[in-house]
Copies of this chain bind each other. A is one copy, B any other.
Amino acid sequence: MSVDDGATDLDPLVKGWSGTVTLYDVARASGVHPSTVSRALDPTKHSRVKAETRERIIRVADELGYRPDLVARSLQSGRTGTVGVILADIGNTFITPLVHGIAAALESSRAMPTIAETQDDHARMLNILDHMLSRRVDGIVAVAARAADQQALEAAAKVVPVVLASRPLEETQLVMATHDDHEGGRLVAEHLYQLGHRTVAQLLGPNDVLNFPRRAEGFRQVVSDRGLHELTVDVCAERPVTEEGERLMELLLDNSPHLPTGVFAHNDLMALGALSVLRRRGLRVPEDISLLGCNDLPLVGHLTPPLSTVRLRPLELGKVAGDMVVRMLSGEQPASVSLGVSLIPRGSSRRLDGADRP
């Protein structure tokens, strides 16, 4: 509490009021050199200072309410202990566990996530990358990658470790943690086939978010292998959201010569949109049309009918992705990972009346 020697400038107490107690204040107040304080307070170098002095320093430090300035430390050390996490949309409940997974993995290396949102807009992505690099993040997990962002992400990867999570990119050296979307599409088509459906359709997600064309591909592979008939509309969603699901469902209904009996919306939000259009038009799900989504968002099991969907593993994916950056921070070069997915049959898909198998 007492500033004994003739310290020239501000009284630590006064500075305490304004919230700025520095290492120098602690040093002065405990009669040692700043670097000794630095050592005493650094768990790593704990030992190199006499137990007695150390305790005194620690006591003085928290009497004064000293709080290390991470900004200064970062400037000195070149590391901020911060990993940028780039999301498309915080509102998508699919990414919540993903973020938690990333955070959990980062915790192990005492790093903290810094979240930013692209709104699926390329310009925003550029801004965010630029800003994060200026902020000197130690690494980046990009959950919002679109085809257009590829170049920028690869450029960023020359500066800091970059991991692509959930959304892959084509022909890139970037490390990726993704789901097997091809398999997801396959599972849905196969499910419909097994239930006796022969005329099916897809509500396509944005083409430049690779997950969606891959789901489409998987689906089409079964369509072709099993000899199904796929009704198509020549358009895909701009963004993978409810409103686009509505738009596409309406297009499908308006432009098809006849109705499909099974529809695969490329994600749950789009399925939700499709559902309200169907309801509005007096078509029942699943009696008239079976509808499936993808992602298994928390609420879709509570819908009426509960939505059949493809279950992803966002928490695990986040952990894997977070782990990857952490490892890259210590020089490793982890291999990309693709997680398996599973189909969750619920009330929105059902066996077609008159289907030939039990």
Contacts and interface: CB of A to CB of B under 8 A. Distances in A.
A99 interface: yes
Given A75-B75, A80-B71, A96-B90, A158 B302 contact: no
A12 to B, nearest CB: 15
Contact of A70 (B67, B134, B304): B134
Contacts of A18: 159
A69 B134 contact: yes
A181 to B, nearest CB: 23
A17 B304 CA distance: 56
A97 B91 CA distance: 8
A149 to B, nearest CB: 18
Given A72-B75, A158-B17, A134 B299 contact: no
A272 interface: yes
Contact of A71 (B67, B71, B99, B160): B71
A135 interface: yes
Contacts of A302: 272, 275-276, 303
Interface in A72-116: 72, 74-75, 80, 90-91, 93, 96-97, 99, 103, 112, 114-116
B96 A159 contact: no
A56 interface: no
A19 B70 contact: no
A136 B93 contact: no
Contact of A91 (B70, B80, B96, B117): B96
A284 interface: no
Nearest to A16: B158
A99 B119 CA distance: 13
A327 interface: no
A43 to B, nearest CB: 15
22 contacts: A17-B158, A19-B133, A19-B159, A19-B160, A67-B130, A67-B133, A69-B75, A69-B136, A70-B136, A71-B80, A75-B75, A90-B90, A90-B99, A91-B93, A91-B97, A93-B93, A103-B117, A112-B131, A114-B115, A115-B115, A275-B302, A303-B303
Interface of A: 17-19, 67-72, 74-75, 80, 90-91, 93, 96-97, 99, 103, 112, 114-117, 130-131, 133-136, 158-160, 272, 275-276, 298-299, 302-304
The 9 closest A-B CB pairs, nearest first, are A304-B304, A19-B159, A91-B96, A70-B134, A115-B115, A299-B299, A71-B74, A70-B135, A71-B136
